[in-house]
C-alpha cells in the first residue's frame, strides 16, 4: 500500500482550546492508525518540541511518526522511541537567515508600539514571536515590514488568534511556513503530495489550507479564517482542495479531533483508494453467500439474489475498490447463519451486518421504527473502519429511507431500486377506505409510501428492470423520469447454462422426477412461480390438461413454492390446480413441486426439461421482468411467455421464444404443441435463446450501474481519484 501522511495542528485541532476532548473519536483515530501502518502521523504546531510533547501526554494523543514545530521552522523524524531533529532543514533555513537574524528582529520589533515579545520558550533560531494588542494588527505589521526592510532582512509574517484577546505574530524566513515544512518532510520520507492531508484551525495554518495539499478546516476554526478560506476557494474553483468539517459522520460536530477524523475519512486516508467504494443496502431478508433460506418467506426472495450477485459482480470491476453489502444482523436459533458481523463474498466484497431492532428475525413490516438505529450503527461502523463510500445503492423502501438519512448526514449520493412498490400492492390487495385500517396495522403502508416517495425524491438515480416497470409502477408516484435508468438484472452463469455433463445432483433429481410420471420419457412442460393470482397458473393447467393432444405428448411440472403455512390465497390456488388435474384424469402427467433448491437445483431442473426437448411457460397476466425466462433460456430451454410486461422486452417473438396472450388458454396450448411437435423449430428457438440470455448477466448489470455511478460522481477519469474528489467537493459546496 502507498504511504500516506496525515498532518494535524495541535491546539484547537487535535484537542479543544475549551471544553472536553472527544475520547470516542480519539480512540477511533488511534485504532485506525494502528490498523493502517501505511498512514504516518505528523503534528504541525507553533509549539516547540518540549511543549508539544507535553500536550501529547496531557491529552493521550497517538505518538507521531514526525513532528513539525515552531510554525514550520523545525522538523523531527522518529528514530526508535525518540524524535530526532532533521538537520538538513535547518541548514536550508540557515542559508536564508544567517545566525542571529531572529535575535536582531526581536530587538528592533520590541520598539514598535502595540507589540510584546512572547516568552523565551516560544522563540526559536528561525522564529521571532510576539503578542499584538487588539486593534493594532494592521499598524504593527506595517512597522514590522519597515523595520526589517531597514535591516535588509526578508521575512514571512503569520498572524493568528491567541487563546486570549491578543493576536499572535510569528516572523519567519521568507517562503517558510507550515506548508513549506510539510512539503520538505514529504519529500524526505518519499510521500507524494497527493497522499498528504493536513488539518488545522487557525491563522498560522492559512498557508497550508491554501496550498496544493489536501486540507481539512475543522468546524471550530476561527470564523474569520473560515470566511477567508471559503472566499479564496470559491474564487479559485477546484484548487486549492479544502474540506470544511461540519459533523457529517457519526453525528459529531466536526470540531477539533472529530473534524480531523471526518476529513481523513472524506479523503480516504484509511481506505487505500484506487477506485470507487460502493455500499449496497438491503436491510430486511436473510442474506448470506449460500442463500440458505431463499424462498423461506416473502422477504427472502429475488431481492436477496439481486443484491448478492450484483455485489459480487461489482467487486470484479477494476474501477471498484470495494463493495460492502449492508444488512441487518440477526441472532436467532431458528436462523443460525446471520449473526456474524462480517462475511466475505470475495477479496473486495463483504456482507456487513449491523444491529437494528430486535435480535430475532422479524419481517420487514416490523422494521420501520428501527431505521434510525440502522443509520446510526452504519455510520458508526464506517467511522470505525475508516471508510466512507463514494456512493450507495438502496434496495426496497426501508433501505431507501435509510439511505436518504445517510446521504443527508454524510453527503454521499445514493441510487434507489424499489423491487416492489406500495401503491401497486395496495391496488392488488383491493384496499379501500373501509378496509384500509386493517391493512395499515399489518403492512404500515402510510410509512412505506412516504419512504418510497422520499427515496425517489432524494436519490440521484433510480434503477428499474424494464420500461414496463417504470410505466406501470413508478408512474403512480411523483418522479423525475430523467433520473430513471433501465438496468435488467442478470443470472449466475455458473448455475444457468446448457447441459454439458451429468453431475450427481442432476442424476438424482432426474430419477426423482421420472418416478412421478406414468411415461417419464415424454418432453417436460415446466412452469415456476409463486402462488399468486397474477401468475395465472390455473390457466396453464387448463391449457395442458384440457388439450386433446398435450397430455399424450408431454408431462407438466409446476413449481409452486408452497409454504408449510400458506395463506388463504395461496392455498386456494393450489387446491384449484389439484382440482383441474384430478377432474381431467391427469395425475400421471402432472407433478406439483413445492420446492427446488435455488441455484444449481433450479438450473438442473431447467436442463432436465431442455434435455427432454420440453418447454418453459410463464403464463402470468403481467410480468414485471421475468428472471425465470432468462434462466431457462440460458439452459437452452425454449420459453413461451406472456406478451404483457417485461417478457416483451426480453423475447423476440418466434426467434428466441414465443409470446402469447395469457388469457387465451388455446393460444398457450397451441404454442406448446408447435414447439414440441416441430423439432427443427425447437432447436432454432433453443439455440437463439441461449445467445439471447447472454445479454443478461450480472457482469453486464454491474458495468451499467458503474457507468451510472461514475456519471453521478462526475468522474472524468476513473484513474484520477483526486480530480474526482475535487468534483465531489464542488458539488457539496454548491448545494449547501
Q: Is residue 723 part of a domain?
A: no
First to last CA, the chain: 35
- Which one of 452, 486, 520 terminates a domain? 486
pLDDT at residue 299, rounded to an integer: 86
Residues 295, 255 within the same domain: no
Q: Is residue 543 part of a domain?
A: yes
Residues 599, 665 within the same domain: yes
pLDDT at residue 506, rounded to an integer: 87
Residues 298, 401 within the same domain: yes
- Which one of 151, 172, 193 terminates a domain? 172
Residues 582, 619 within the same domain: yes
What's the rounded Cα separation, in Å, for the pair 166 and 115? 10
Q: Is residue 719 part of a domain?
A: no
H or E element, residue 107: helix 101-109
In sequence order, which ranges of 528-567 are alpha helices (DSSP H)? 537-545, 550-553
Residues 298, 409 within the same domain: yes
Q: What is the CATH number of the domain that holds 297?
A: 3.40.50.2000
Q: Is residue 317 part of a domain?
A: yes
328-350 exposure pattern, b = at least 16 Cβ within 10 A, e = fewer: bbbeeeebeebeeeebebeebbb
Q: What is the CATH number of the domain that holds 150?
A: 3.90.1070.10
What's the rounded Cα separation, in Å, for the pair 307 and 327? 10
What's the rounded Cα separation, in Å, for the pair 378 and 386? 12
Q: What cell does 112 get?
A: 514598535
Note the pLDDT tens digit of each residue in 9-59: 999 999 998 888 889 999 999 999 999 999 999 999 999 999 999 999 999
Q: Which residues does 603 contact at the CB level (< 8 Å), separation at least 6?
A: 495, 496, 497, 631, 635
Q: Which residues does 618 contact at the CB level (< 8 Å), separation at least 6?
A: 527, 529, 626, 628, 629, 639, 640, 641, 642, 647
Q: Is residue 656 part of a domain?
A: yes
Q: What is the CATH number of the domain that holds 259?
A: 3.40.50.1000
Residues 239, 302 within the same domain: no
Residues 303, 367 within the same domain: yes
Residues 9, 158 within the same domain: no
pLDDT at residue 222, rounded to an integer: 83
pLDDT at residue 597, rounded to an integer: 74
Q: What cell does 343 get?
A: 462475511
Q: Is residue 565 part of a domain?
A: yes
pLDDT at residue 505, rounded to an integer: 82
At residue 66, φ and ψ (nearest 5 deg) are: -140, 160
Q: Is residue 705 part of a domain?
A: no
pLDDT at residue 273, rounded to an integer: 60
What is the span of the domain harbouring residue 51? 4-90+178-266
Residues 287, 431 within the same domain: yes
129-138 exposure pattern, b = at least 16 Cβ within 10 A, e = fewer: bbbbeeebbe
What's the rounded Cα separation, in Å, for the pair 400 and 463? 12
Sites in the chain below the pLDDT cut of 70: 163-165, 235-240, 251, 272-274, 295, 502-503, 598-599, 714-736
Helix, strand, coil shares of the chain, percent, nearest 5, are 45, 20, 40
Residues 144, 205 within the same domain: no
What's the rounded Cα separation, in Å, for the pair 530 and 558? 10
Q: Is residue 498 part of a domain?
A: no
Residues 314, 451 within the same domain: yes
pLDDT at residue 563, rounded to an integer: 73
Question: DSSP characters for 385-406?
Answer: HT---SEEEEEHHHHHHHHHHH
> What global pTM score does this model have?
0.74
pLDDT at residue 223, rounded to an integer: 86
Q: What cell does 63 get?
A: 505518538
Residues 143, 191 within the same domain: no
pLDDT at residue 236, rounded to an integer: 59
State how many domains the chain has.
Answer: 4
pLDDT at residue 731, rounded to an integer: 42
Q: How far is CA 216 from CA 193, 522, 624, 722, in A?
A: 15, 72, 48, 15
Amino acid at each position: 500500500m502507498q504511504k500516506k501522511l496525515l498532518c494535524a495542528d495541535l491546539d484547537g485541532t487535535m484537542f479543544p482550546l475549551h471544553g472536553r476532548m472527544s475520547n470516542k473519536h480519539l480512540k477511533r483515530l488511534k485504532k485506525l492508525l494502528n490498523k493502517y501502518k501505511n498512514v504516518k502521523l505528523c503534528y504541525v504546531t507553533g509549539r516547540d518540541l518540549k511543549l508539544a510533547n507535553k500536550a501529547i501526554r496531557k491529552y493521550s494523543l497517538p505518538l507521531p511518526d514526525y513532528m513539525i514545530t515552531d510554525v514550520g521552522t523545525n522538523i523531527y523524524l522518529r528514530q526508535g522511541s525518540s524524535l530526532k531533529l532533521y538537520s538538513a532543514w535547518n541548514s536550508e533555513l540557515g542559508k536564508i537567515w544567517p545566525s542571529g537574524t531572529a535575535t536582531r528582529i526581536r530587538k528592533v520589533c520590541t520598539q514598535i508600539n502595540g507589540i510584546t515579545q512572547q516568552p523565551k520558550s516560544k522563540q526559536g533560531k528561525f522564529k521571532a514571536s510576539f503578542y499584538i494588542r487588539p486593534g493594532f494588527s494592521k499598524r504593527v505589521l506595517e512597522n514590522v515590514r519597515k523595520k526589517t526592510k531597514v535591516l535588509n532582512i526578508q521575512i514571512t509574517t503569520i498572524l493568528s488568534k491567541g487563546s486570549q484577546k491578543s493576536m499572535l505574530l510569528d516572523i519567519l524566513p521568507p517562503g517558510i511556513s507550515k506548508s513549506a515544512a510539510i512539503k520538505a518532510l514529504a519529500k524526505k520520507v518519499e510521500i507524494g503530495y497527493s497522499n498528504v492531508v493536513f488539518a488545522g484551525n487557525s491563522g498560522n495554518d492559512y498557508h497550508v489550507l491554501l496550498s496544493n495539499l489536501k486540507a481539512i478546516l475543522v468546524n471550530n476554526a476561527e470564523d474569520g479564517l473560515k470566511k477567508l478560506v471559503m472566499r479564496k476557494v470559491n474564487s479559485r474553483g477546484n484548487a486549492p482542495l479544502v474540506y470544511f468539517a461540519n459533523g457529517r459522520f457519526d453525528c459529531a460536530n466536526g470540531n477539533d479531533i472529530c473534524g480531523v477524523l471526518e476529513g481523513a475519512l472524506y479523503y480516504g486516508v484509511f481506505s487505500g483508494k484506487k477506485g470507487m467504494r460502493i455500499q449496497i443496502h438491503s436491510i430486511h431478508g436473510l442474506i448470506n453467500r449460500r442463500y440458505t433460506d431463499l424462498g423461506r418467506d416473502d422477504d427472502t426472495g429475488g431481492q436477496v439474489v439481486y443484491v448478492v450477485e450484483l455485489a459480487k459482480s461489482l467487486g470484479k470491476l477494476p474501477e471498484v475498490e470495494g463493495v460492502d453489502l449492508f444488512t441487518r444482523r440477526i441472532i436467532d436459533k431458528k436462523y443460525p447463519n446471520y449473526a456474524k458481523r462480517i462475511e466475505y463474498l470475495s477479496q473486495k466484497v463483504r456482507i456487513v451486518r449491523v444491529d437494528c431492532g430486535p435480535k430475532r428475525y422479524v419481517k420487514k413490516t416490523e422494521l420501520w421504527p428501527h431505521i434510525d438505529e440502522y443509520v446510526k450503527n452504519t455510520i458508526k461502523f464506517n467511522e470505525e473502519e475508516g471508510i466512507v463510500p463514494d456512493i450507495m445503492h438502496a434496495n426496497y423502501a426501508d433501505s431507501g429511507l435509510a439511505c436518504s438519512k445517510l446521504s443527508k448526514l454524510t453527503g454521499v449520493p445514493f441510487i434507489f431500486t424499489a423491487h416492489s412498490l406500495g401503491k401497486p400492492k395496495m391496488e392488488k390487495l383491493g384496499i379501500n377506505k373501509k378496509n384500509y385500517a386493517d391493512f395499515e396495522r399489518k403492512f404500515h403502508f402510510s410509512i412505506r409510501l412516504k419512504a418510497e416517495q422520499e427515496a425517489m425524491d432524494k436519490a440521484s438515480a433510480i434503477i428499474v428492470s424494464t420500461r414496463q416497470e417504470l410505466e406501470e409502477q413508478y408512474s403512480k408516484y411523483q418522479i423525475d423520469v430523467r433520473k430513471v435508468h433501465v438496468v435488467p438484472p442478470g443470472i449466475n452463469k455458473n448455475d444457468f447454462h446448457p447441459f454439458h455433463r451429468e453431475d450427481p445432483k442432476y442424476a438424482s433429481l432426474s430419477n426423482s422426477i421420472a418416478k412421478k410420471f406414468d411415461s417419464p420419457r415424454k418432453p417436460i412442460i415446466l412452469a415456476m412461480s409463486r402462488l399468486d393470482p397474477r401468475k395465472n397458473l390455473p390457466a396453464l393447467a387448463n391449457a395442458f390438461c384440457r388439450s386433446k393432444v398435450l397430455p399424450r405428448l408431454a408431462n407438466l411440472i409446476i413449481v409452486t413454492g408452497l409454504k408449510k403455512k400458506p395463506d388463504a390465497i395461496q392455498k386456494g390456488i393450489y387446491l384449484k390446480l389439484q382440482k383441474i388435474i384430478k377432474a381431467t384424469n391427469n395425475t400421471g402427467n402432472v407433478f406439483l413441486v413445492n420446492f427446488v433448491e435455488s441455484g444449481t437445483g433450479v438450473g438442473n431442473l431447467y436442463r432436465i426439461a431442455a434435455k427432454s426437448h420440453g418447454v418453459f411457460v410463464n403464463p402470468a397476466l403481467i410480468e414485471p421482468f421475468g428472471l425465470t425466462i432468462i434462466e431457462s433460456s440460458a439452459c437452452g430451454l425454449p420459453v413461451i411467455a406472456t406478451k404483457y410486461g417485461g417478457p416483451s422486452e426480453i423475447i423476440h417473438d418466434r426467434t428466441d421464444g414465443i409470446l402469447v396472450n395469457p388469457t387465451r388458454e388455446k393460444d398457450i396450448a397451441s404454442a406448446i404443441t408447435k414447439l414440441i411437435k416441430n423439432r427443427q423449430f425447437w432447436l432454432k428457438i433453443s439455440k437463439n435463446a441461449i445467445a439471447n440470455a447472454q445479454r443478461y448477466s450480472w457482469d453486464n448489470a454491474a458495468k451499467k450501474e458503474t457507468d451510472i455511478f461514475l456519471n453521478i460522481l462526475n468522474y472524468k477519469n476513473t484513474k484520477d481519484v483526486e480530480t474526482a474528489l475535487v468534483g465531489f467537493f464542488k458539488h457539496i459546496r454548491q448545494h449547501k
